[in-house]
Amino acid sequence: MRKLILGVILLSVLNACSNKQSKLPILGNREPVTNTVDGKSVVDTAYATIPDFKFVNQYGDTITQKSLEGKIYVADFFFTTCPSICPVMHRNMLNVYKEFKADDNFRIISHTIDPKYDTVPILKRYADKMGLSGNNWWLLHGDKGSTYTIAKSYLQTVQEKNPAGQYIHDGFFILIDKQKRIRGTYEGTDPKEVDKLIADIKILKAEPEQAVTK
Amino acid sequence: MKFKVTGSILLLLAVVIFSCQNDGQIEFNRYYSGGSAIYLAHCANCHGNKGEGLQALIPPLTDSAYLKKNKNVLACFLKNGLKEKISINNKTFESEMPADSLAPIEIAKVLTYVTNSFGNKLGTINLQQVQDDMAKCR
């Protein structure tokens, strides 16, 4: 009996070790599509992807889906005068930025949800004060409609100002792969979740599908 | 048996030390522990759990010299917000701090917490002092 218990424990320990996640899930809506391959129809799964967009970054450069081709990226929504969760989010995002600063196939994009105040020069000043340089972390300006629309495809909700004059928005960091699919969402205000994001980016980078450069 | 004796002696010692705390120390502890909860709810998002601030955007709360020099206007900063440029640890900060709707007693507690945490040691800032300071707000 004792040997049996020992065996079970040993087995579960070994199992726990081999259970290390080597592939991230694909999130969002999915639907079956029928493709024709070699004259035969094959049913495949189509995953939700981030649609094309056009925004301007803190340097005044136009950023579209094309600018992110062949790159894994993390997206979030914020505004520079946000007194509540944004400082926490970006204090944590700074760790992600530092970890992958040398990787040109990685980007962070932060959409402002207050484009009226957060003009390009204001975003540049914010970037400077955050100590951001180069192109690894873009702060994106766009009209309110396009920003609020793109938020939905990242499974995020943003709203107009509430009676207290504050914007309501989710504090999530969203991980997108090179096929523009959502691979993870992380509570940006929680340092532990952000540590997991950093670990997950490493897992994602190692997936064979992510080896493509274009 | 030996442990029991040592244990009781230690307990007795703890009781003696605790009851030796003077009124000032008790007041300080009351303000400080209350202030720590207020800090987490109202200040930590921006200034950080350890008062570290955020890069050049949000000042840290670790400049003891600044806090000491401005001890009597800190209450006004919390009550009315802060718009002017300030120099903290020899760096300039100019982003606005919004006002918060804290009661005077809460201001006293949170100021006691901040000015005695993160390497600061300025002693108790009590309710009376905060009321006096706030009467002189510009």
CATH number reported for the structural domain that contains residue A164 in this entry = 3.40.30.10
Residues 57-96 of A with CB under 8 A from B: 81, 83-85, 87-88, 90-91, 94
Cβ contacts of B98 on chain A, cutoff 8 Å:
83
Q: Given A85, A88, A130, which is nearest B55 (Cβ)?
A: A130
Sequence-distant (6+) residues with CB within 8 A of B119 are: B62, B64
What's the pLDDT score for residue A17? 52
Taking CA–CA distances from A125, the nearest residue in chain B reads B57
B91: domain range? Answer: 19-135
What pTM does this model have?
Answer: 0.81
CB of B98 within 8 Å of a chain A CB? The answer is yes
What is the number of domains present in chain A? 1
What is the number of domains present in chain B? 1
A129: domain range? Answer: 53-206
Q: Residue A31: inside a domain, yes or no?
A: no
What's the pLDDT score for residue A167? 67
Q: Residue B76: inside a domain, yes or no?
A: yes
pLDDT: which is higher, A208 or B138: A208
A72 CA: distance to closest CA in chain B (Å): 26
Taking CA–CA distances from A90, the nearest residue in chain B reads B54
Q: What is the pLDDT of residues B82-119, one digit of tens each?
A: 999 999 999 999 989 999 899 999 999 999 999 999 99
What's the pLDDT score for residue A14? 56
Q: Residue B59: inside a domain, yes or no?
A: yes
Q: Residue A5: inside a domain, yes or no?
A: no
CB of B127 within 8 Å of a chain A CB? The answer is no
CB of B88 within 8 Å of a chain A CB? The answer is no
User: Do B67 and B115 meet the contact criterion of CB atoms below 8 Å apart?
Assistant: yes
Q: Residue A190: inside a domain, yes or no?
A: yes
Residues of chain A with pLDDT under 50: 18-19
A68 CA: distance to closest CA in chain B (Å): 27
Q: Residue B7: inside a domain, yes or no?
A: no
Q: Residue A140: inside a domain, yes or no?
A: yes
CATH number reported for the structural domain that contains residue B47 in this entry = 1.10.760.10
- Secondary structure (3-state) at B91: strand
CA distance B130 to A180: 55
Q: Residue B6: inside a domain, yes or no?
A: no
Q: Residue A192: inside a domain, yes or no?
A: yes
Contact A88 B45 (CB under 8 A): yes
What's the pLDDT score for residue B87? 96
- Secondary structure (3-state) at A210: helix
What's the pLDDT score for residue A13? 57
CA distance A92 to A192: 10
The complex's ipTM works out to 0.75
State which of A12-16, B123-127, B134-138 shows the largest mean pLDDT.
B123-127
Structure token digits, residue A112: 């402002």
Structure token digits, residue A24: 């991230």
